[in-house]
């Protein structure tokens, strides 16, 4: 069993029996933005993270009285997950392998960090009497959909990556828990989420490539891959909005902006924001960047918009905003 460490970042916490909200993966890219959004609502938050990809600096600004606690533990340690459920009202389950490509190299990564971890979260909730879970799923569950924009009702879904398969399996576990044990769930099928604190993804990769060689930028594939992008800020606003507004036993929504952007255009934006001149953008060829990469995704988001949610940024705006932020964070 792994050792669990517990650290209170503030003194407000769960004193006086007040309920808290648990964010698994709360020190990660999207998770830390969600912690920010919940704290802004006046919520007390407990973060559970093993810090394999999460970073303490993403939460450092909550030091000094903002009601955030950190539990350093792994979701595969069931006893640690059970202990972290004490006093929790709602679980926001974001912890997972953040890199789709990793699953092609270590093939049990998504099974363990995704599906098994989700089972542990659900079973710990059952033991603790916690009945509400908000889950970060992905557009990767759709695979190469024949209908675009792809609605939530599309099927049968056939993921082509181990990451997408794990997310779909986790969705099934969650809906089964709702049907069997009376839990309530919000399942969020993310577009490609981008923003400050990003630790992986195409924009992150492009900036690091330019940092190594400012004269050329290699793009995996032919650059025609086209996907929906959403800012991390809009993503977590949508999550919080849906948990507040949607009231079915299982609430399933695509989260996106209703538009797309090509990898070719992303490369151009990153070069523009880098300030480098005469950069040669070179393509490796082929219709996808790696095994399991879906060449084109476009999410139908009218169901989300019908709840009154409006994104602040569309795909290209979110990409440019992210490029500027990550260039500052990474340094060029």
Residue range of the domain that includes 138: 5-194+230-255
Residue 188 and residue 282 in one domain: no
Residue 245 and residue 281 in one domain: no
Tens of pLDDT along the chain (332 residues)? 344 444 544 433 444 445 799 999 999 999 999 999 999 999 999 999 999 999 999 999 998 766 899 999 999 999 999 999 999 999 999 999 988 888 888 999 999 999 999 999 999 999 999 999 999 999 999 999 999 999 999 999 999 999 999 999 999 999 999 999 999 999 999 999 999 999 999 999 999 999 999 999 999 999 999 999 999 999 999 999 999 999 999 999 999 999 999 999 999 999 999 999 999 999 999 998 887 788 999 999 999 999 999 999 999 999 999 999 999 999 98
CATH, residue 19: 3.40.50.720
Residue 235 and residue 93 in one domain: yes
CATH, residue 283: 3.90.25.10
What pLDDT is attached to residue 66?
65
Residue 219 and residue 317 in one domain: yes
What pLDDT is attached to residue 65?
66
Residue 116 and residue 149 in one domain: yes
Name the catalytic one among 163, 253, 283, 303.
163
Our answer to whether residue 163 is catalytic in this structure is yes
Residue 167 and residue 207 in one domain: no
- Judge contact between 263 and 289, C-beta under 8 A: yes
Q: Which of these, 196, 166, 170, lies nearest to 185 by C-alpha position?
A: 170
What pLDDT is attached to residue 13?
41
46 token code pair:
């407990």
Residue 266 included in any domain? yes
What pLDDT is attached to residue 131?
97
What pLDDT is attached to residue 104?
85
Residue 323 included in any domain? yes
Q: Which of these, 289, 330, 287, lies nearest to 101 by C-alpha position?
A: 289
Rounded CA-CA distance 120/99 in Å is 21
Residue 302 included in any domain? no
Residue 146 and residue 241 in one domain: yes
């Amino acid at each position: 069993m792994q050792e669990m460490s517990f650290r209170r970042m503030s003194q407000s916490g769960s004193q006086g029996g007040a309920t808290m909200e648990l964010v698994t993966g709360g020190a990660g890219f999207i998770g830390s933005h969600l912690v920010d959004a919940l704290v802004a609502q006046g919520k007390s938050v407990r973060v559970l993270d093993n810090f394999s990809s999460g970073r303490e600096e993403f939460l450092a600004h909550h030091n000094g009285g903002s009601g955030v606690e950190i539990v350093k533990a792994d979701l595969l340690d069931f006893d640690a997950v059970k202990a972290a459920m004490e006093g929790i009202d709602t679980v926001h389950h974001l912890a997972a392998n953040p890199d789709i490509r990793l699953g092609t190299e270590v093939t049990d990564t998504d099974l363990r960090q995704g599906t098994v971890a989700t089972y542990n979260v659900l079973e710990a909730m059952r033991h603790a009497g916690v009945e509400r879970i908000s889950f970060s799923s992905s557009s990767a569950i759709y695979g190469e959909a024949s209908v675009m924009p792809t609605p939530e009702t599309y099927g049968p879904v056939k993921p082509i990556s181990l990451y997408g398969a794990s997310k779909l399996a986790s969705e099934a576990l969650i809906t089964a828990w709702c049907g069997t044990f009376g839990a309530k769930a919000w399942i969020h099928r993310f577009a490609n989420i981008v923003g400050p604190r990003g630790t992986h993804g195409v924009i992150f990769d492009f900036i690091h490539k330019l940092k190594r060689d400012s004269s050329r930028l290699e793009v995996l594939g032919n650059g025609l891959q086209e996907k929906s992008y959403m800012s991390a800020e809009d993503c977590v606003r949508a999550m919080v909005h849906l948990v507040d507004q949607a009231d079915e036993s299982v609430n399933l929504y695509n989260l996106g902006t209703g538009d797309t952007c090509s990898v070719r255009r992303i490369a151009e934006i990153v070069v523009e924001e880098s300030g480098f001149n005469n950069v040669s953008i070179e393509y490796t060829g082929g219709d996808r960047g790696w095994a399991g990469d879906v060449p084109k995704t476009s999410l139908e988001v009218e169901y989300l918009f019908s709840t009154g949610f409006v994104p602040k940024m569309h795909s290209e705006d979110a990409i440019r905003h992210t490029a500027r932020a990550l260039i500052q964070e990474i340094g060029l």
